[in-house]
Amino acid sequence: MPELPDVEVFRRLFEQKALNLEIAEVAVNSPEMLVGIEADAWRSKLVGSQFTETLRHGKHLLTALSGGAWVVWHFGMSGFFSVFARMDEEPPHDRVRIDFASGSRLGYSCQRKLGEVGLTPSPDTFLKEKGLGPDALDPSLDRSSFVRSLSTKRGTIKSALMDQKLLAGVGNVYSDEILFQASVYPGARTSDLQEERLAAIHEAMRRVLQQAIDAGADPQAMPEGFLLPRRESDASCPRCGGSVEKKKFSGRSGFYCPSCQSV
Ligand SMILES: [Zn+2]
């Protein structure tokens, strides 16, 4: 599922390939992916306009239109953008396609249709409506505000990191990586963690997300010592060589090393 680093990679692709180009045509192949707006209304907002800037907040990408509104993109479990020129290059699960006057096309694919595409007057309006917490890489989410907001949480540390109302951008995969790097057991009760361990999780969160972006969110390009390319039971732990285990935490399957991650 696309998380903060993946969506940041999508944002950079969008910046490179979709800004300041006149939108000639829009195809809505799966109208049910649009939230809060009819396909015709959405289409007429885009055609003749241009995208002028991008903003990522957690797992959401917002792209400004020269007409004033912002298109909101969420990638669900399997969404991604592709850029192509010829129609025979269109991916099979393209739900929305934007054709630019220049001849290039931007496709939004989402095989399982769990993503969402919408329109909002402004990023502030959207963030308030969704009740999203600060982006996990926002400088305002510093060590002390991170510790303060987590110290009020009940439940496991893994579910706290994945709570988008607390902080936005971390999901199942990166919560595992952050806790592995911080040597914290995913099932630890957040309220049992001392301040210095929460601070270590904050430090790991910043480092892991930035390193994952630097790796283009490609599992095979992650730094040595990442758990991410070894998300399978009985894979060997990159730190101690022991067995990686899979277990459900708050209903989500997590991967961890029982030797390296203590409560
Ligand atoms: Zn280990």
Confidence label for 262 from pLDDT (cuts 50, 70 and 90): confident
245: CA distance to ligand 1 center in Å? 10
Tell me, in angstroms, the distance from the centre of ligand 1 to residue 155's CA: 24
Model confidence, pTM: 0.96
Decide if 76 contacts 110 (C-beta within 8 A): yes
How many A from CA of 261 to the centre of ligand 1?
Answer: 7
- The alpha carbon of 201 and the centre of ligand 1 are apart by a number of angstroms equal to 17
12: CA distance to ligand 1 center in Å? 34
Q: In the chain, what is the straight-line distance between the N-terminal and C-terminal CA atoms, in Å? A: 27
pLDDT digits 0-9 by tens, 78-117? 999 999 999 999 999 999 999 999 999 999 999 988 999 9
Distance 143 CA to ligand 1 centre (A): 26
Instruction: Tell me what pLDDT residue 152 has.
Output: 87
Given a cut of 80, whether residue 263 has pLDDT beyond it is: no
